[in-house]
Amino acid sequence: MMNINKASELLNNLLSQTDKKSERKIYSCFIRTLSSLKDKDLTESQTQLIQEKLSSLNLNTTTENRKKYYKQELSKFKAFLKDKFSFTSEKYYTEMGMIYGMSIGMSIGLSVGVAINPTLGISIGLSIGTGVGMVLGMAYGAKKDAEAKRQGLVI
């Protein structure tokens, strides 16, 4: 069974063996996530679930493309933490809010722009809609991030 400490040790070992900046970044991010979990007040069942997930990731597998493999495993692990425990990374909601805000703002801006002036209004509507949507989405996301941080759900 792979626990948080063993996974951290393994990743620290991999970190010390590579010179590639992109690989180091992935290992460091994975290690930070695991360290953050150590600081959480997890129940026995939560710890058990995390250990089972870490074991299923097969982190001590040797592969040709380690960067790609560990990047995928980190994504799986973060998705697991989000689904099971509602743990999010820092600025998760801000980034999601920005994406959704831009999308919604773009469609509203396009609609309004076409309604005002079919030839010139499209570009103006898109510009304004995208900007306003992005700002509103980021504001909402920042509020959700602050709430998650208060609840201790940020890793």
For 12-21, 78-87, 112-121, which range has the lowest pLDDT when averaged over its residues? Answer: 112-121
Beta-carbon contacts of residue 59 (< 8 Å; ≥ 6 apart): 2, 7, 10, 11, 70, 73
Distance CA(107)–CA(142), nearest Å, equals: 23
Tens-digit pLDDT profile for residues 30-56: 999 999 988 888 889 999 999 999 989
For 68-77, 95-104, 111-120, which range has the lowest pLDDT when averaged over its residues? Answer: 111-120
- Of 148, 53, 29, 50, nearest to 96 by C-alpha is 148
Percent of the chain with pLDDT over 90: 48
pTM above 0.85, yes or no: no
Query: So what's the pLDDT on residue 96?
Result: 94
